[in-house]
Amino acid sequence: MTSDVDGWVAVVTGAAAGIGLALVESYVADGARIVMADFDAPRLRSEAARLRASGAEVLDIAVDLGDAAAVDELAQRSVDRFGRIDVLCNNVGTIAFGPTWEIDLADWDRVLRVNLLSVVNGIRSFVPVMRAGGDDGHVVNTASMAAFMQLGGASSYVATKHAVVGLSIALAEDLEQAGSGIHVSVVCPGIVATAFAQPGAEIPPEDDLPAGVVSARAAAASIRAGMAARRFYVFTHEDSVDIVKDRYRRVLQGFDS
């Protein structure tokens, strides 16, 4: 049976681990051709080799998504190899912890670069290619529930994830005004069992996850379902609805007399 993405070309950033790798596996299972991008070259190479051994058509490119020139080159090599781009998943992310006034400028710079500029770079390098090649497809930017919840201790992360939501809204408007058929989604995961917040940490098995935590595979399935339904906001946790309601309740309090 062919799926809706059979033969498509999907570019996934942060593809060597976590949600990005789970997205790649989900696309591969449905017959898509994949560009895997990540700056963890050894891990990227080994995951891509594993997928190719199972018959997948995969191009792996080690790249720092914060480097605009390198992302331009990534787009060029993707088009040279596959001739088209149907899906762009801007998924890389990083975090820094501490009270707002103590996060040092090097961490601010890193978090802004990886969480926000990587998405800008992906859009600037790939959207013109997608527009030129039929003007359809899907751009999927990964934000976080940190863009909706009351969360301290990681302000650079929270600020950049708000920015990814805003950037995605503006991108969708720009594409619509340009008459483009490219869809935009912004993904807002709750806690997903990856090594994101604790690099090197062991990831518990899928059947032994703490309450409120979902597996990367389940998160990828929610993202794919949200994309298929052409939803702009894509959530991975059912209880995120309460966080969103609380956010807008707080916003509306600004009108209290």
Residues within the interface to ligand NAD (CB under 6 A): 14, 16-20, 38-40, 64-66, 91-94, 114, 118, 142, 144, 189, 191-192, 194-196
Question: How far separated are the first and last CA of the chain, in Å rounded?
Answer: 59
Instruction: Pick the closer one to ligand NAD by CB: 23 or 127.
Output: 23
Beta partners for residue 62, in sequence order: 38
Is residue 157 among the annotated active site residues? yes
For 224, counting Cβ atoms within 10 Å of its Cβ (0-12 exposed, 13-18 middle, 19+ buried), the class is: buried
Instruction: Pick the closer one to ligand NAD by CB: 10 or 17.
Output: 17
User: Choosing from 27, 157, 233, 248, which is the catalytic residue?
Assistant: 157
Smallest distance from the beta carbon of 190 to ligand NAD, in angstroms?
6
Smallest distance from the beta carbon of 160 to ligand NAD, in angstroms?
9
Smallest distance from the beta carbon of 192 to ligand NAD, in angstroms?
4
Instruction: Pick the closer one to ligand NAD by CB: 82 or 196.
Output: 196
Smallest distance from the beta carbon of 182 to ligand NAD, in angstroms?
21
Q: What are phi and psi of 171, to 5 degrees?
A: -60, -45
Instruction: Pick the closer one to ligand NAD by CB: 135 or 149.
Output: 149
**Inter-residue long-range contacts of 130-133, CB under 8 Å, 24+ positions, other chains counted:** 130/85, 130/86, 130/88, 130/182, 131/178, 131/180, 131/182, 133/83, 133/84, 133/85
Q: Which residues are catalytic?
A: 157
